[in-house]
Amino acid sequence: MEGFAPKASSYASQWDWFFFVLVTVSSIVVATVFVAIVHFSIRYRRGVNARREPVSETFSNRLEFSWTAGTALAFLAIFWWAAAFQLRDFVPPEGALQIHVIGKQWMWKIQQPNGVREIDEIHAPIGRPVQLIMTSEDVIHSMFLPALRLKQDVLPGRYTYLWFNADKPGVYHLFCAEFCGTSHSRMTGRFVLMTPTEYSRWSAAQPEADNLARQGQALFSSLGCSGCHSKSSSVPAPDLHGVFGNPVQLSDGRSIIADEAYIHDSIVLPEKDIVAGFAPIMPSFAGQVSEEQIIKLVAYIRSLSTERHP
Amino acid sequence: MSETVSAAEPGKAPEESEQCESYLEAGGHTLMSWLTTTDHKRIGILYAIAITFFFFIAGIAIGLVRLELMSPRGLFLSDDEYNRLFSLHGIVMVWFFLVPSIPATFGNFFLPLMIGAKDVAFPRLNLLSWYVYLLAAGFACYAIVAGGVDTGWTFYTPFSSLYSNGNVLAAAAGVFVAGFSSIATGVNFITTTHMLRAPGMTWFRLPLFVWAIYATSVVIVLATPILAMSLLLIIAERLFGLPVFNPNDGGDPILFQHLFWFYSHPAVYIMILPAMGVISEVFTCFARRHIFGYAMMIYAILGIAVIGFFVWGHHMFVSGESQFANLMFSLLSFLVAVPSAIKVFNWTATLYRGSISFEAPMVYAMGFVGLFTMGGLTGLFLASIPIDVHVTDTYFVVAHFHYIMVGGSVSAFFAALHFWWPKITGKLYSEAWARFAAVIMFLGFNSTFLPQYIMGYTGMPRRYHVYPPEFQAYHVLSSMGALVLLTAYMLPLVYLTWSLFHGKKAPANPWRATGLEWQTPSPPPEYNFEEIPRVDTLPYEYHPENQGGPFRPQGKVIGGK
Amino acid sequence: MSDDPSVVQFPWPTVARQREGVAFGMWTFLGSEILFFGGLLLTYAVYRTLYPQAFNSGSAATDIFYGTINTALLLTSSFIMTMALRGSESGSRGVVAACMLTTAAFGLAFLAVKGLEYAEDIDKHLVPGPHFPLHPPARLFFAFYWVATGVHAIHLLVGILVAVFLGIRVALRQMAPESTAIEAASLYWHFVDSVWIVLYALIYLPGRSGA
């Protein structure tokens, strides 16, 4: 069974259990219909003697009612089970290790939290929650990790998330599951799960890189962001300290939580959500910054919040 | 009960109807007489010819794909060629074969006959639909010849609107135009069913095939325009650079998916509802028994048609749609499965206390029930969000919808073809060959698509040209099955064509069926009925208690049988 | 009205039944049309909810003068179309022919005004492209503007052709004024008019009230 469809998390094991219960139930239904059809076909085939008078109205109504109600209830039960299963693991736990993923035709670019970059490979530790924060530079891709029974589309101009808590080290498949053009079937890679000690040994052995926030800070000044978004600036622009993760009051009365998506949109679509009390004067950086750079900027802005409340 | 036909009578050859010129004779044999006909029966045949052509075009495309997939690194195609072939298969099969398949051929031919009308409500519009379909086919053929299109049949943005280097414009225009053909046919069928039923043919005396075509037409009329608009928006974006789904301008590519699936999920019911109608006709006739739960069957058709409009989001569980939306769509998807399950139970119960014989249409129909049940049950897997997350966009989904679309709709198409062939052509085909083909088709189908379920569960993504070698065994099995399936599809082409020239002359009512269409001569006269028949009974008044015994037609046709 | 053989067509048994059937068929088709524009209006609703300010600034860039003139033209044309229908009911050939052709003329006037407006828009670079003067999400507004008015104009053009065709056929006595096609054409015309009223509100009015 192991080589058949490897599983690397307890979620995957529970998933398999659910799946095979459904397979069993379905097989019973198929077998029942099949047996009924074969039985009737033999018993009532033309030319043999059998009772053939009409069934009573009451009988057929009762039968009709009971299988309608029975099917509806059975389906609702499966729905209930599936929905509960889905919702239980919906919210990622606090303190998950965050790995950024960028899909582009036809490769996966990975940024580990410590700044290590990978192509078409995700290294992740087992035994602790890991969250993938994903976006695309061009078309829609889809991150598919069959060993975890997980999949999530990766969209341009938006962040999507996937989280898991794996428990079995090994090398597994990583696929792009949404058709994305010519080399779609080559947009695959290795998903490497390691014990925490192996993982830290592996990341220490990678070529040295600044962590994301540090790289973001450098970009923040080289792109000229700091020209406006600093306390000493003469241009009225919001101060970014302590913004991340907190609600922001917008000029049209709405209020929004400043998360990755909000920071992302504020950089490339500054018109969209104007902070209350500020004029819409920020130019769009669409086309001037790459998704990778935005990830670094977001990491920097995030660090401005965590510094204050360690 | 005076009109009950005795057992011996209907088998007789209908010499008495010779005075009535059949629709094949009236108007002449010239090509022009066919190209300018407004006779719904001839238009049905025009459609049949066109869709058969496209069925084999799309079949060849997928044959090449299956051959290529025998090896994990591919055999003879480039990535782009591979992508264009499966896109061609999907686009042509869906819009140029499956959507028009049963409605535009058998629906056109038999809807007026079954309700006792002389033609559809707007005969000239009906012919125009066919020409519009040809125009659409022209666009599609151009797209194919000019290098193909590589978006898959789903045209997802922003790939289709900004990135694809395929012939998206021509393909989208083809599907767009084909939509108008569908809508015109739908309007025609709805109006016909409302306005031209024979006296006494009340709504609750309509054969289930008519109900199915009617419900399908309503779905066509309400869903197709949304597809037309979403394709138009892609065309606007590609041709004029108007940014509708472009994320760089704040556009939302997911919005396209909502619009697309708002059509394309109901489209699944456009393809399967007519099939269900056919199966109901065939099961009652060959079990010689009134359909079990006639009223419930109607409510099930309507329930599927209505709820089918509200489940589109289940195609988007992993697209980044809100979790609450996912839950609602999941619940509604389970609900829409209830009427489908009821139909399977009712067909099975129709056999109970019947007097069953196993002519070719019945064999095809029984194959349908088996395959449809297997396809439908895996639908429950896909309606469960966690299961769907893993198996969506894998071969599991591919297997699921082929069980419904091919195992279901195409089997039903063949059931219909064999059931009504004697009526349409006036000729009898070889029963032995037909049964043989039905069995081969069932076996070939299962060996093609069962391995795909397993392969999908183990994580094989769909639309992959090259793939990890561990999936090769399944692909080889599937490709072998496809070869068997191909053979099975070629067989009817041969023995049915043979029957046209050498087949025995068919009697008016070879199956001794109750529908009005069977009370006319085979083939029917040009205007169907000399005088509009009166209907005074329910459909399916078969009486199995007397072995192969009397049955009661829905009405008496003057100049008919 | 009698079962005039020039009016009743195969396979309808009577003119009355045919009239009912043609109207029913037309309404069914219009149901389909509503969904067609519905898809477009949905994209508008989604994007306007996401970018209310951009849509206000986009709307401010349109020329409400042309839009209002066109609304008046189409509403008047619908009134004249109704007179054609009245003429058809009373069987007066002259009224039907004259009103059909006048309706078409109003439709043409609408298209002419629309053409002037398009020319001005292109002059102001309001076609999303490199010189587009507004901030990016307003490009979504103008994508809607061009698609919606373009699709509407094509519908109107079809309506004009039908009105001219029927008007001339009736005038030349090739068609009875009682023909069921008149009612079908008028239903379609009113639909195209109603679509415009909705588009007028969505395109020209956002952000124009108050400040």
Assess B484–A contact: CB distance below 8 Å, yes or no.
Answer: no
The answer to whether the bond into B112 is cis (omega within 30° of 0) is no
Q: Is B16 on the interface with C (CB under 8 A)?
A: no
Q: What's the first-to-final CA gap in chain A, in angstroms?
A: 47
To which residue do tokens 């002359």 refer? B505
* Residue C16 belongs to a domain: no
Please report, for the domain that includes residue C53, its CATH number.
Answer: 1.20.120.80
User: Looking at the complex, does the CB of residue B541 fall below 8 Å from at least one CB of chain A?
Assistant: no
Answer left, alpha or beta for residue B241, where phi above 0 means left and psi between -120 and 50 means alpha: left
> Is C175 part of any domain?
yes
A166 neighbors A148 (Cβ within 8 angstroms):
yes
Give the integer Cα–Cα distance in Å for B517 and B116. Answer: 8
By three-state DSSP, how is residue B264 classified? helix
Q: Does the residue C193 lie in any domain?
A: yes
Beta bridge partners of A173: A190
Regarding the domain with residue range A1-41+94-209, which homologous superfamily does it belong to in the CATH classification? Cupredoxins -  blue copper proteins (2.60.40.420)
Say how many residues make up chain B. 561
B510 within 8 A of B434, measured Cβ to Cβ: no
Q: What is the total residue count of chain C?
A: 211
> Please, which residues bridge with residue A98 across strands?
A131
Task: Please tell me whether residue A145 adopts helix, strand or coil conformation.
Answer: strand
Residues of A in contact with C54 (CB under 8 A): 271-272
Nearest CA-CA partner of B81 in B94, B96, B67: B67
Query: Which of C53, C55, C134, C141 to probe the A interface (max A CBs under 10 A)?
Result: C53
Alpha helices in B241-322 (DSSP H): 253-287, 294-307
- Structural domains in chain C (count): 1
The pLDDT score that the predictor gives to residue C207 is 81
Predicted local confidence at residue C87, as pLDDT: 94
Q: Does B27 touch chain C (CB under 8 A)?
A: no
Euclidean distance between CA atoms C81 and C156, whole angstroms: 13
Angstrom distance (rounded) from CA C42 to CA B301: 28
Mean pLDDT value across residues C180-191: 95
Strand residues in chain A grouped as ranges (E) = 97-104, 107-111, 117-119, 121-125, 130-136, 141-145, 150-154, 160-164, 170-176, 189-194, 247-249, 255-257
A residues 257-296 lying closer than 8 A (beta carbon) to C? 269, 271-272, 274, 280, 284, 286
pLDDT of residue B7: 41
Nearest Cα neighbor of B446 from B481, B486, B491 is: B481
Asked if B125 and B102 count as a contact pair (C-beta separation under 8 A), the reply is: no
- Written in H, E and C, the secondary structure of B173-215 is HHHHHHHHHHHHHHHHHHHHHHHCCCCCCCHHHCCHHHHHHHH
Q: Which of C20, C129, C136 sits opposite B195 (nearest CB)?
A: C20
Q: What tokens appear for A106 in the block?
A: 């036809």
pLDDT > 50? residue A308:
no
Answer yes or no: are the C-beta atoms of A297 and A267 closer than 8 Å.
yes
Which is higher by pLDDT, B168 or A232?
A: B168
Which among B185, B187, B230 is the top mutation candidate for probing chain C, defined by the most C β-carbons within 10 Å of its own β-carbon? B187
Helices within chain C (DSSP H only): 15-50, 52-61, 64-90, 93-123, 137-171, 180-204
What token pair was written down for B255?
Answer: 């919005």
Terminal C-alpha separation, chain B: 18
Average pLDDT, chain A: 88
Q: For residues B371 and B275, what is the distance between their CA atoms, to the nearest angstrom?
A: 12
Distance between CA atoms of B64 and B558, rounded to whole angstroms?
Answer: 52
Over its C-alpha atoms, chain C yields an Rg (Å, rounded) of: 20
Does residue C56 fall inside a structural domain? Answer: yes
Closest to B490 in 3D by CA, of B446, B443, B433, B426: B433
**Domain span at C78:** 34-204
Contacting A residues, span 67-106, partner chain B, CB-CB under 8 Å: 67-68, 71-72, 75-76, 78-79, 81-83, 85-87, 90, 105
A181-185, A277-281, B401-405, range with the lowest pLDDT: A277-281
Residues of chain B contacting A3 with CB distance shorter than 8 Å? 470
Q: Is the minimum CB–CB distance between A250 and chain C shorter than 8 Å?
A: no
A26 pLDDT band (50/70/90 cuts)? very high
pLDDT score for B187: 97
Burial B16-33 (b: 16+ CB within 10 A, else e): ebeebebbbeebeeeeee
Which residue ranges make up each domain of chain B?
22-556
C interface test, pick of A268, A271, A285 with most C CB neighbours within 10 Å = A271
* Domains in chain A: boundaries: 1-41+94-209, 55-90, 212-308
pLDDT of residue B549: 62
3-state SS, residue A220: helix
The predicted structure's pLDDT at residue B271: 95
Beta bridge partners of B387: none
> Is C90 a domain residue?
yes
pLDDT score of B13? 41
CA angle B482, B487, B491 (to 5 degrees): 145
Quick one: pLDDT at residue B88? 95
Task: Give me the pLDDT at residue B19, please.
Answer: 54
In a domain, C11, yes or no: no
Q: How far apart, in whole angstroms, are the C-alpha atoms of residue A183 and residue B292?
A: 52
Nearest to B198 by CA among B440, B552, B528, B543: B528
Q: Are B293 and B346 in contact (CB under 8 A)?
A: yes
C147–B224 C-beta distance less than 8 A: no
Q: What is A212-308's CATH superfamily?
A: Cytochrome c-like domain (1.10.760.10)
Amino acid at B434: A
- Measured CA to CA, the distance from residue B174 to residue B168 in angstroms comes to 10
A105-140: per-residue pLDDT in tens?
999 999 998 888 899 999 999 999 999 999 999 999
- Mapping DSSP to helix (H, G, I), strand (E, B) and coil, where does residue B525 land? strand
CB nearest to C51's CB, from A272, A284, A286: A272
Low-confidence ranges of chain B (pLDDT < 50): 1-18, 561
Alpha-carbon distance of B404 to A64, in angstroms, equals: 24
Paired sense of beta strands A121-125 and A189-194, if any: parallel
pLDDT bin (cut points 50, 70, 90) of residue A310 is very low
Q: Using the beta-carbon criterion (under 8 Å), do A284 and C135 form an inter-chain contact?
A: yes
CB-based contact C136 A252, cutoff 8 Å: no
Class of B22-556 per CATH? mainly alpha
Distance CA B338, CA B376 (A): 10
Task: Please report, rounded to a whole number, the percentage of residues in chain A having pLDDT higher than 90.
Answer: 52
pLDDT band at A208 (very low <50, low <70, confident <90, very high): low
Give the total residue count for chain A.
Answer: 310
The alpha carbon of residue B499 and the mean position of all alpha carbons in its chain are separated, in whole angstroms, by 24
Q: Return all residues near C112 (Cβ < 8 A) that are at least 6 apart.
A: none
Tell me the pLDDT tens digit for each residue of B505-536: 999 999 999 999 999 998 999 899 988 999 98
The 3-state secondary structure of B356-417, one letter per residue: ECCCHHHHHHHHHHHHHHHHHHHHHHHHCHHHHHHHCCEHHHHHHHHHHHHHHHHHHHHHHH
C25 occurs within a structural domain: no
**Strands of the A150-154 sheet, one edge to the other:** A121-125, A189-194, A170-176, A141-145, A150-154
